[in-house]
Amino acid sequence: MTKVDPRLESTHWQPGPAGLPRALHGIHPDRALSLAEHRDLHGPMALMRADDLIAVTGQAGLHGHGGAGFPTATKLQAVAAGRRSPVVVANGSEGEPASSKDEVLLTRTPHLVLDGLVLAATALRAREAIVAIERTRPHALEAVAVAVAERAAAGDDPIAIRIVPVPGRYVAGEESALVHLINGGDAKPTAVPPRPFERGVGGRPTLIQNVETLAHLALIGRHGPEWFRSIGTTEEPGSALLSFGGAVSRPSVFEVALGTRFESIVAAAGGESEPVSAYLLGGYFGTWVRREDLWGRHLTKNDLAPLGASLGAGVIVALPKAVCGLVETARVMQYLAEETAGQCGPCVHGLASVSDRVNAIARTQTTPKMRDDLDRWSAMIERRGACKLPDGAVRFLRSALVAFADEITEHQHGRCQATHREPLLPIPHAGRDWGWR
């Protein structure tokens, strides 16, 4: 008979930090917390049985922070229900160019993420625990390698952790692409079903969670669901990391309670540094929203849904009035078109066609027919890829057509009011990792 780890039997909750930050609690501005520092700050790691972990995660109401906002307990349950012993993957790919919250977690508090990974992996009696990190983020790779070595030396994890470097492509962090990469293939999405939770790494049921989700899971394991729900709203409890960029005084990664008023979030980023016309919410899969439509709203699904927006993976960018939203949209559309995995016709040809038109509009070389093409092609592209790249690109495009409707009319008359010609949104180019493995 195997000995039961005594840590699996304890279910008393340790007191947690009263307010914010939680995941970023006690971090050092320019280096990672060591294992010893981490344990001093957060207390010993929690381990649990699968049933307990699923129940506690469900009571906490934890949702994924990788973009889709899926309930974590449901995923844990699905993987636990598989027959074979599963694999757990911490998704730290962070392919979204405007996002840096995963990198902040991995470089400042890697052990919190690894605690969450080990908690999930031991509860599910996993065969393997993997951390996937983009090769274009060498600091994160380095910090996690050091952290994994520290843990191996300390010897108190019941499972070993493997690091998998991921090529720097937007779609490489999509879950089926990650599975394909780990299984020895290209980091390109595969046709689903089967979904990774049914058949993933090595054919095993595979749990894939964003690294921030695992950090919150590690805290729930220590402090319990009530503590988790003590901030945020009833429907959306807890906190989230934001990568706030653009025209604010302190562009940075910080943690907010879900449901916070939008104005307070802008204030936390130092306030607007110049007049702002719109905000990008949720990154390059996200939505442009006019500033006046966001004011007075809270960071909740209910408040954002009428705008067609959601927090996604936590990216917010303030677009200055002086920068042309159509030019920024064209730059992103071209990037997304180039980031196709080249597998699905509507994605390859559709995104290229759309990108052409948006480029023409941005350069004020436009006709009303071009605007109609965009509507028709958007409908034609949607839901027709193996992965959600085309859908994300279409959501982004449609939001631009609404938010920048006045600007489109101006451009149709050959005029553009923007004065800055410096590009705003980050687009990876220099030293870009073009490979797929």
Partner 1 sequence: MSERLRLDPIRCDAHGVCAELFPEGISLDDWGYPILRAGPIPADLLEHARRAVFACPALALKLVDDR
Ligand X SMILES: Cc1cc2nc3c(=O)[nH]c(=O)nc-3n(C[C@H](O)[C@H](O)[C@H](O)COP(=O)(O)O)c2cc1C
Give the binding site for partner 1 (CB under 8 A): 189-191, 343-347, 349-350, 353, 377, 380, 384-386
C-alpha span between 63 and 321 (Å, rounded): 34
* Closest distance of CB 194 from partner 1, Å: 13
- Pick one of 386, 394, 403, 425: the residue that binds ligand SF4 (CB under 6 A): 386
Q: Note whether 66 binds ligand X by CB under 6 A.
A: yes
The answer to whether the peptide bond before residue 193 is cis (omega within 30 degrees of 0) is yes
Binding mask 179-208 for ligand X (x = CB under 6 A): -----------------------------x
Which residue stretch of 105-113, 139-147, 289-297, 341-349 sits at the interface with ligand SF4 (rule: CB under 6 A)?
Answer: 341-349
Q: Are strands 287-290 and 161-166 parallel, antiparallel or unpaired?
A: unpaired
* Closest distance of CB 257 from ligand X, Å: 19
* Closest distance of CB 140 from ligand SF4, Å: 23
**Placement of tokens 């274009």 in the chain:** 136
Based on CB atoms, which residue is closest to partner 1, 54 or 347? Answer: 347
C-alpha span between 386 and 11 (Å, rounded): 42
Which residue stretch of 42-50, 116-124, 335-343, 374-382 sits at the interface with ligand SF4 (rule: CB under 6 A)?
Answer: 335-343
Q: Note whether 166 binds ligand SF4 by CB under 6 A.
A: no
Based on CB atoms, which residue is closest to ligand X, 231 or 241? Answer: 241
* Closest distance of CB 413 from ligand X, Å: 36
Closest CA to 191 of 380, 335, 384, 436: 384
Q: By the 8 A CB rule, do 239 and 232 touch?
A: yes
Q: Note whether 111 binds ligand X by CB under 6 A.
A: no
- Pick one of 34, 273, 343, 353: the residue that binds ligand SF4 (CB under 6 A): 343
**Placement of tokens 């027709």 in the chain:** 384
Q: 95 is in the binding site of which of ligand X, ligand SF4, partner 1, none (Cβ under 5 to 8 A by kind)?
A: ligand X
C-alpha span between 406 and 423 (Å, rounded): 20
Residue 219: its H or E element: helix 211-229
3-state secondary structure of 303: helix
* Closest distance of CB 213 from ligand X, Å: 3
C-alpha span between 276 and 395 (Å, rounded): 22
**Placement of tokens 């990108």 in the chain:** 355
Q: Note whether 168 binds ligand X by CB under 6 A.
A: no
Strand arrangement of the beta sheet that strand 128-134 belongs to? 161-166, 128-134, 87-92, 206-210
Q: Note whether 392 binds ligand SF4 by CB under 6 A.
A: no
Based on CB atoms, which residue is closest to ligand SF4, 325 or 390? Answer: 390
Based on CB atoms, which residue is closest to ligand X, 291 or 388? Answer: 388
Six-digit token string for 432: 């870009």
C-alpha span between 137 and 392 (Å, rounded): 23
**Placement of tokens 């695992």 in the chain:** 214
C-alpha span between 303 and 310 (Å, rounded): 9
Residue 345: its H or E element: helix 345-362
- Pick one of 189, 232, 320, 350: the residue that binds ligand SF4 (CB under 6 A): 189
* Closest distance of CB 347 from partner 1, Å: 8
Q: 213 is in the binding site of which of partner 1, ligand SF4, ligand X, none (Cβ under 5 to 8 A by kind)?
A: ligand X
Radius of gyration of the chain (CA): 22
Q: Helices (DSSP H) in 155-198: which residue ranges?
A: 175-182
Q: By the 8 A CB rule, do 254 and 241 touch?
A: yes
Q: 312 is in the binding site of which of ligand X, ligand SF4, partner 1, none (Cβ under 5 to 8 A by kind)?
A: none
* Closest distance of CB 346 from partner 1, Å: 6
Q: Note whether 336 binds ligand SF4 by CB under 6 A.
A: no
Which stretches of the chain bind ligand SF4, using CB under 6 A?
171, 188-189, 340-344, 347-348, 385-387, 389-390
Which stretches of the chain bind ligand X, using CB under 6 A?
64-68, 70, 91, 93-95, 171, 173-175, 208-210, 213, 387-389
